[in-house]
Structure formats: C-alpha cells, structure tokens
Amino acid sequence: MSVGFKELTGKDSADKCRRIEAFYILQIRWLRPAIHCPNSFNDGVKRSMNIIDFKKPVKRSFRGNTAVVPQLEKVLTVILKTDVPVLMGICSDGLRSSSRILGGEFHAEYFSGSVQAGGSSMQVELSSELAFLDTRFTLVTQLGELISVESQGVLLMDEVGQQELQNGVWPISDGHYQCTCTPRFKVSLGPNEWLEKSAFIGKTEYIQDNETLISFYRMKS
C-alpha cells in the first residue's frame, strides 16, 4: 500500500484507518480454522461447527447377510404351437430365423384359456452354443380377457446339443440345453393386474418339433 498510517492526516485519514482496520479484522476471521462458530445470537448457548473429514475411512453397513432370498412360485404354464422356422440369413447380430405362432393353450391356478394365433418367435444364433429368443404372443382366457406376453430368452447348448442341431435333430435331447426367459405381461384393468406388478422368470422346454412348453414363475420375497 503506497499510503502509510503516518502519512494520513485529518478526518479522511481517520476514516481510512478504520476501514483498513476493519478489513484486516475480517481477513483474520476468515483465515481462522472454522472449528468454533461465534455465538451471534448472544443467548448463552455455545454452538460449534462439525468438520467432515472426507479422507477418513467410513465403515459401510453390509446387509447381504440379512437379505431375503426370493422364492419362486409357479403361476402359469403355456404350450405354444409354432410353424416351420423361416431362415432370414446372417444379419448384423447373428443368424436369424423366425417362426409363426399358430396357437396353443395355457393353464394357471385361477384361469386358463388358449393362445391366439398370429404371434411370433424370433431366434438369433450368436454362436454354435448361444442364441437369443424374442417371443411375442397373446393369451385369451375363458372369460375373453386378453393377456399380451413379450418374452426375452437365452438358449445355451452343450457340445452334444450343438452336434444334434448341426445334424438336423430337433428338438435337442433333454439335458443338453438350457433355455430361460424373462416375460413381461400387459393386461387390462381388472383381476389380472397382478401380472404387471410382479417379476417373473420362465423355463422353456422343447417337447416336439412344433411345440414349446414355457413355465412361468413369480418371484416372491
């Protein structure tokens, strides 16, 4: 600062001195470690500021041992009748084929009915052992209610199953493939709404060359 305290005279110099003094007092207060907060309320109660040390390790709570393992409840069995697969050829995601759903039937604890013709089952072979499935169909209950089903599945085959498939054998022998799926249901408002409010997993079995059995299980905690 070019002007010292001794060079200041008169009323203006006194005001400048007070401003300079106030400035330094504020600087000292801001630079002081924020451990104790002055009691601006002047009510006799001591207040302090909690300082968080982000470098200090924090013990995390672990609830893995107390988590409830979900239980599976079988709620629906569907038999799909399909047409002869139509080979689309090699696409960007793999070898694609599609089958038209001709009909079928389904059974549950509280309702049953038929499978509406017109759905489809798409299969994408990514390798000799792995294929993805996309199956879409509509169920019709005995009361005429419609239940739309969209199922995404994964088909895994061992060496025996792969060899059977290459030799034109279908369906593959039991124990040499595993097929699971995750369905999504769409229903109208009414007694079947629980299908939209639950999580499901399905197991697919190929029982004949043109029939597929899918068992759906609801996950319950």
Distance of CA 101 to the CA centre of its chain: 29
pLDDT at site 70? 86
pLDDT in tens, 14-58: 666 676 666 656 555 555 544 444 555 555 555 556 666 666 776
pLDDT in tens, 70-91: 899 999 999 999 999 999 999 9
| Correct CATH for 71-220 of 2.60.40.420, 3.30.60.50, 3.40.50.720, 2.40.160.20 | 2.40.160.20
Domain range summary for the chain, segments of one domain joined by +: 1-58, 71-220
Q: Which residues pair with 98 in a beta bridge?
A: 86, 122
* Average pLDDT over every residue of 5-20: 59
pLDDT at site 69? 84
What single-letter amino acid sits at 30?
A: W
* Token pair listed for 94: 């793999």
